[in-house]
Amino acid sequence: MSHCLNNYDGLCANIHGHSYKLFVCLRGEVCQDKNSSSYGMVMDFSHLKKIVQSEILDKFDHALIIEQNSPFIEQVKLMDTKKEIVDFQPTCENLVLHIKEKIEPLLPCGVELFSVKLYETASSHAEWNLRDVICCK
Ligand SMILES: [Zn+2]
């Protein structure tokens, strides 16, 4: 995915890309109902993967994420390329919060989003968890 940062005094002001890695962690009780298809699970991995695929990966994978007031926006709108125009600065921290907002309402009853961790590079990531946003480098 590519992005660029507004009013940023550095190389990330340019349109550039990263090989992001996303980790989503859930919390809940393991289902004990032997008649349920979720028996022995907190949530079926395939159900979670479908949510992440449709809400996040289908939109962001190999796309340019750009803020609506970016100085590049008019040129980008004319480009025949996959893009997502957002109303926030597309930093790792803001992307984590956006991903949290998209996934959380689609989880089944009794399953709680515990953390969302997004690696921008192998050594830089941002994380939201039940307590706070934590940035690590
Ligand atoms: Zn970047």
* Other CB atoms within 10 A of residue 93 CB: 19
- Cα separation, 9 vs 18, in Å, equals 19
pTM of the model: 0.92
Cα of 118 to ligand 1 centre, how many Å? Answer: 12
Q: In which band, very low, low, confident or very high, does the pLDDT at 134 lie, cut at 50, 70 and 90?
A: low
DSSP string over 98-111: HHHHHHGGGSPTTE
pLDDT single digits (tens) 39-54: 999 999 999 999 999 9
Q: What is the pLDDT of residue 59?
A: 97
Superfamily of domain 2-136: 6-pyruvoyl tetrahydropterin synthase/QueD (3.30.479.10)
Phi, psi of 85 (to 5 degrees): -95, 120
Cα of 77 to ligand 1 centre, how many Å? Answer: 20
- Cα separation, 39 vs 36, in Å, equals 5
pLDDT at 135 over 80: no
Cα of 72 to ligand 1 centre, how many Å? Answer: 15
Contacts of 79 (CB under 8 A, 6+ apart): none
Cα of 42 to ligand 1 centre, how many Å? Answer: 34
Phi, psi of 63 (to 5 degrees): -110, 160
